[in-house]
């Protein structure tokens, strides 16, 4: 099977993060499209075919449940670092999305491979999500903010001690596109060895 490299190059180079504030209010994405996006995510590479990813999808009233959980966990565990604006944001941002996906790493029970390799595999799965979202003309954003690194959040997502919550991916209809981006010249990142 052959693919059009020009289209693939364009997709990769024009993928952008679209933040929840840029989503169309009330814009819903069909569950079947999100299921296809997640199917694409599962085709990421993983060493030893461990497929260490787990996705928990919130939509509809599930977004309200997640927003409440996230806000209350932050309130209970932030102590002196509590900020009212952060608390409000944790309760409001999920409601801007059509779907919110918890990005989770479930460690291989045998732990045959270093955790870093499983982190890389989940990250590849997220890149597949990003590219798929862009291909469908949707907006998407991967955040590691909020309760991502709060150990007390793990049971809510069915995660054990060795597992990791790696953030949240927001999906929505785009109201305000993200601007064009740039990258530093490739010569600054790549060296060639020819002899």
* Structural domain includes residue 173: yes
- Structural domain range at position 77: 16-188
* Structural domain includes residue 1: no
- Distance, in Å, from the CA atom of 177 to the CA atom of 174, rounded to the nearest integer, reads 6
Q: How confident is the model at residue 112 (pLDDT cuts 50, 70, 90)?
A: confident
* Structural domain includes residue 174: yes
* Structural domain includes residue 6: no
Q: How confident is the model at residue 111 (pLDDT cuts 50, 70, 90)?
A: confident
* Structural domain includes residue 79: yes
* Structural domain includes residue 4: no
- Distance, in Å, from the CA atom of 57 to the CA atom of 34, rounded to the nearest integer, reads 9
Q: What is the mean pLDDT of the chain?
A: 96
Is residue 109 scored above 80 in pLDDT? no
pLDDT score recorded for residue 53: 98
Is residue 90 scored above 80 in pLDDT? yes
**Per-residue tokens: 131:** 């590219």
Specify whether the backbone of 179 is left (phi greater than 0), alpha (psi in -120 to 50) or beta.
beta
Q: Give the pLDDT confidence of 26-52 residue by residue, as tens digits.
A: 999 999 999 999 999 999 999 999 999
Q: Give the pLDDT confidence of 157-181 residue by residue, as tens digits.
A: 999 999 999 999 999 999 999 999 9
Q: How many domains does the structure of the chain reveal?
A: 1
- Distance, in Å, from the CA atom of 174 to the CA atom of 140, rounded to the nearest integer, reads 9
Q: Is the pTM of this model over 0.85?
A: yes
- Check which CATH number belongs to the domain holding 67 and give it: 3.40.109.10
């Amino acid at each position: 099977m052959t693919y059009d490299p020009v289209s693939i190059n364009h997709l990769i180079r024009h993928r952008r993060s679209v933040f929840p504030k840029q989503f169309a209010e009330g814009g819903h994405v069909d569950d079947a499209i999100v299921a296809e996006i997640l199917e694409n995510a599962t085709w990421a590479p993983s060493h030893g075919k461990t497929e260490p990813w787990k996705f928990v999808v919130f939509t509809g009233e599930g977004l309200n449940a997640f927003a409440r959980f996230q806000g209350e966990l932050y309130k209970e565990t932030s102590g002196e670092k509590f900020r009212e604006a952060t608390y409000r944001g944790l309760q409001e941002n999920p409601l801007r999305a059509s779907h919110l996906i918890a990005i989770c790493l479930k460690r291989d029970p045998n732990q045959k491979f270093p955790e870093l390799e499983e982190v890389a595999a989940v990250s590849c799965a997220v890149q597949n999500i990003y590219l798929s979202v862009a291909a469908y003309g949707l907006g998407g954003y991967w955040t590691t903010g909020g309760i991502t690194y709060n150990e007390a959040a793990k049971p809510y997502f069915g995660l054990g001690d060795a597992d990791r919550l790696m953030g949240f991916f927001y999906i929505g209809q785009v109201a305000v596109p993200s601007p064009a981006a740039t990258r530093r010249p490739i010569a600054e990142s790549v060296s060639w060895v020819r002899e």
